[in-house]
Structure 1
């Protein structure tokens, strides 16, 4: 048995001080849909509603064993690692300073405060995780505190590998396939190494959000690189640069086994899991389930484990999730309509709508021209094919319009 396997098993055993193993549950809905035996490793049901408590607790435990004089721990996090560190700080009675992006959902900030209590101070710095990370590391140097990396740390990776320890014990055998979300790489690196070193790595698939595909970039370059742009919607997995230690475990991943999940499609998956299964997943937590349609021919007839990595979802974001989901499904569009400034023009336009079409937004953007005005119109419909007939009716009536639904520049200003 390798040293890493022993360390991961020790981490899993130590975690029992805090919580029992997270459930591994067969999902009948997904199993029937894909003709497979699909199980969810429910990390969204940990005490902090994500797997991050594993690495945070394990790294703090090992630090205190080696350096019992340690009293102050610091981390940077978009939310889930912060909650794990806060929970561990209160458990061990240690002082914690947590740096989080200003854009972190309020739900994650409030829960971090709740888990840490008086032991933890939260500092909101930067717009993205990497800016918070730089601030946290600078603070550590000034204060002489110990930095707890969210992913790029050997002890953290060992702690995250405890997911695999539990999964194998609960299933009683190695699954045919494991689907892992990737952010900074701590979870995917830990689980991958454990499965490989125990001979249980049958097939592994990885998934990143389209707006934060740092592993894809690293595989292409042969080393970690910093992404030039980052979409922070999938805040639990949007990292501009994968860790060096984590990439060392993932550098041999076949690029064909890495899937990219569009942010709007993830929203469809989140709503499906909520409405059909009653499971609340945050965007990062839905990644492994989201790519099942891409793997339909590979999972059919096989035993598959999807790691649902987190459920810290702020329901104030639900309208945005619904909006993104409808746009991905093609059931909502935004038009810039050139409306004649004459009596009855609006009525004429409304008569082009079909029985399943509904106006969700109507706003004059410009009314300086004498004969025409520009109107922003949001239209929802029951089926995407309805737009083809609607657009034909609008054109036949003589109105001119521009579909700006997928124009990120214009939509960013007016939607």
Structure 2
């Protein structure tokens, strides 16, 4: 049985979250407001003791349990902010909590859970994915009688998150549009069911990563449906299936859903830093990414716009990746491939055509006696329209070029690999993989694939997540492709074939036909 809206209103108003949570500040983003022509405000959930909003829902859930349930203990599965919220709440309530985390979880997150929970938090490392950790948490719940503290699909958790809506209404009662990040949907559900009852004219827009848009998929299907895979960069919203109750509430109370790219999220992290000097985690910057994108797409001026910085638990090493990608997200940089003649002065002539613009990156590769292939990054002052003008000038001057600014494989791998081609034509196939970051992952890969097929290319990147990103090439005879596909399935890693990707064809393929 689902809760009626007025019952959520009651539970949110009476939620005892302020035993542990703070009424977080609403900060005006002065620089971003001036740039976008609206008053933009950010709800600062990074100010919570665990640096995210998850504490509200976790504590509210524990407060709803009976004394018998508290004595038996609780269990949760999480690799991130929910785990820390449960651990902190358990310590305050003096309840034994078992937190099941994947073996791939970075040490910084495991240590944080143990620090927040102290003697009341017992960490269990199980499996290499969230789904495996969740299954183990459910098993422990059944065997030991623990109460499961769900991260989002729970009425009391939703009500706890909804207290943010209560604060927003008090802090900015004339708010016009609110942007809320969506992973499992608990945050958007709790805030929207509260605000829409009291301020029905408020427009609420859900923001999802385009690599984990489970709400958008559910709205299309009319019910929660699992995504085949999710991206790992914004791990705080990397949820395959939206919760049933969050979906019901979002379907009723959220006005629109938009998606944002990884580059747009990186640009939003920089936007937040520029105005607050706070470094948001990727999921925490989702609402600001949505604000920038939505306001640039629509003619909206002079409105009061709100977003929620829902978390700031970022792995420090992720910043290297964010710095690389933020200018692409702001459309202040373009990266593209060009064929230039292999002759003296060709590079100088090419640079002259760029009209004095700043070159941010230049990778050169001799391709034949007649031409060279280059990977170029340039600084833009006027966004994508300026790149289209550059592209027109280059094309008119006889240069073959194409934009790589939206080509994920080019930005993750190829820009670091320009220069390598096999010396002769081979039957090469290229695949991208998500490698779990745990001991033995590479050996499993090599034992499953490397002993059967010749590896022709291998490039690994990790940006502080639980999975590394791998680009690998294999020499696969045509008559062996079915057997190779069977070994891919046996491997069990997320993968996609990239053989036809133009970035590979242009810079790395043994074929000279591109």
| Fold agreement, TM-score > 0.5 | yes
- Asked if the contact 1:107–1:313 (Cα under 8 Å) also holds between the matched residues in 2, the reply is no
| Superposition deviation, residue 249 in structure 1 | 1.2
- Asked if the contact 1:183–1:239 (Cα under 8 Å) also holds between the matched residues in 2, the reply is yes
Distance (whole Å) between structure 2 residues aligned to residue 394 and residue 202 of structure 1? 48
Alignment of 1:379 with 2:377, yes or no, is yes
Q: Deviations over 1:72-130 (max 9, x none)?
A: x2212241111111111222233323233456565444432321234323345555544
Partner of 1:10: 14
Distance (whole Å) between structure 2 residues aligned to residue 304 and residue 399 of structure 1? 44
Evaluate the alpha carbon distance shift between residue 276 and residue 162 of structure 1 in structure 2; reply closer, same or farther with a 3 A threshold.
closer
Of stretches 293-302 and 212-221 in structure 1, the one that deviates more from structure 2 is 293-302
Evaluate the alpha carbon distance shift between residue 318 and residue 161 of structure 1 in structure 2; reply closer, same or farther with a 3 A threshold.
same
Partner of 2:100: 99
RMSD of aligned Cα (Å): 3.4
- Asked if the contact 1:333–1:378 (Cα under 8 Å) also holds between the matched residues in 2, the reply is yes
SS of 2:115's equivalent in the other structure is helix
- Asked if the contact 2:39–2:303 (Cα under 8 Å) also holds between the matched residues in 1, the reply is yes
| Superposition deviation, residue 236 in structure 1 | 1.2
How many residue pairs match? The answer is: 402
Alignment of 1:204 with 2:204, yes or no, is yes
- Asked if the contact 2:185–2:243 (Cα under 8 Å) also holds between the matched residues in 1, the reply is yes
Partner of 2:257: 258
After TM superposition, the structure 1 = structure 2 runs for residues 12-411 of structure 1, keeping only pairs within 5 Å, are 14-65=16-67, 67-71=69-73, 73-101=74-102, 104=105, 107-125=108-126, 128-171=129-172, 173=173, 175-199=175-199, 202-253=202-253, 257-293=256-292, 294-295=294-295, 297=298, 300-328=301-329, 329=331, 331-333=333-335, 335=337, 348-349=346-347, 352-353=350-351, 355-358=356-359, 360=361, 362=363, 371=369, 377=375, 379-383=377-381, 385=386, 389=390, 404-409=404-409
| Superposition deviation, residue 63 in structure 1 | 1.7
Partner of 2:504: none
Q: Which runs of 5 or more structure 1 residues have no equivalent in the other structure?
A: none
SS of 1:67's equivalent in the other structure is helix
Q: Which runs of 5 or more structure 2 residues have no equivalent in the other structure?
A: 416-514
SS of 2:350's equivalent in the other structure is coil
SS of 1:251's equivalent in the other structure is helix
Distance (whole Å) between structure 2 residues aligned to residue 391 and residue 174 of structure 1? 46
| Superposition deviation, residue 408 in structure 1 | 3.6
- Asked if the contact 2:291–2:307 (Cα under 8 Å) also holds between the matched residues in 1, the reply is no
SS of 1:63's equivalent in the other structure is coil
Of stretches 283-292 and 373-382 in structure 1, the one that deviates more from structure 2 is 373-382
Partner of 2:480: none
Distance (whole Å) between structure 1 residues aligned to residue 105 and residue 201 of structure 2? 35
| Superposition deviation, residue 233 in structure 1 | 1.2
Q: Deviations over 1:333-386 (max 9, x none)?
A: 25486885xxx76x743663355444646476xx8x885898674534354646
SS of 1:311's equivalent in the other structure is coil
Evaluate the alpha carbon distance shift between residue 3 and residue 379 of structure 1 in structure 2; reply closer, same or farther with a 3 A threshold.
closer
Distance (whole Å) between structure 1 residues aligned to residue 401 and residue 52 of structure 2? 45
